[in-house]
Amino acid sequence: MSEPFERAEYSISTDPGRLDLDAIHAYLTRAYWCEGIPRQTLERAITNSLCFGLFHGKDQVGLARVITDSATYAYLCDVYILEAHRGKGLAKWLMQCVMAHPALQGLRRFTLATRDAQGLYRQFGFRELSKPESKMEILHPDIYRKPAP
C-alpha cells in the first residue's frame, strides 16, 4: 500500500503536517484512556510517534498512534473514529493501513491495551499477553486530573 490511502470520501495519511491537533485533542480529552490530557502533552506525544490520521475530506475524523523504534517494538494507542463515522468499516481499514506500514514490519513485539475492542484487534493477530506475570508497569491513571504543582 502506498500513501495516501484512499477509500470513497475518506483518506488515511501519516503526514504529520495533515494532522489536526485541535480535532485530535477534542476527542482524546474525553476518551476514557486519557481523559483531560493537556494539549501540550498531546503535542509532544504526536510529535514523537508514527500517526495515522483518518480524514473525511479535509476533516480529521480518526487516528491511530504508534510508539515505535521501527525495528523491534511498537505500541498501538489512541485509536479512535468519531462517532458520526463509525459503522463504515473505517476502524478495520485504519488497522489494515497500520499493519501494512513499512516501519512496522518485522517487529519482535507489537502491543496495545484496550477495554472494549478486542474483536477488532484479534483480526490482526493481537492476542492476550502470553506471560502477563512477566509484564510490569508504572501507572498513574489520574495524572491528567491532578492539579499542576
* pLDDT given at position 134: 93
| All three cell numbers of 12 | 488515511
Distance (Å, whole) CA 11 – CA 6: 4
Q: Is the dihedral of CA 12, 116, 142, 29 positive or negative?
A: positive
Query: pLDDT 10s per residue in the chain (149 long)?
Result: 456 688 889 999 999 999 999 999 999 999 999 999 999 999 999 999 999 999 999 999 999 999 999 999 999 999 999 999 999 999 999 999 999 999 999 999 999 999 999 999 999 999 999 999 999 999 998 889 866 55
Distance set, CA 121 to CA 10, 40, 91, 98, 111 (Å): 21, 29, 10, 12, 10
Q: Which fold has domain 5-126?
A: Aminopeptidase (3.40.630)
Domain boundaries along the sequence of the chain? 5-126
Q: Is the dihedral of CA 80, 86, 92, 93 positive or negative?
A: negative
Q: The cell 483531560 sits on which residue?
A: 36
* pLDDT given at position 130: 92
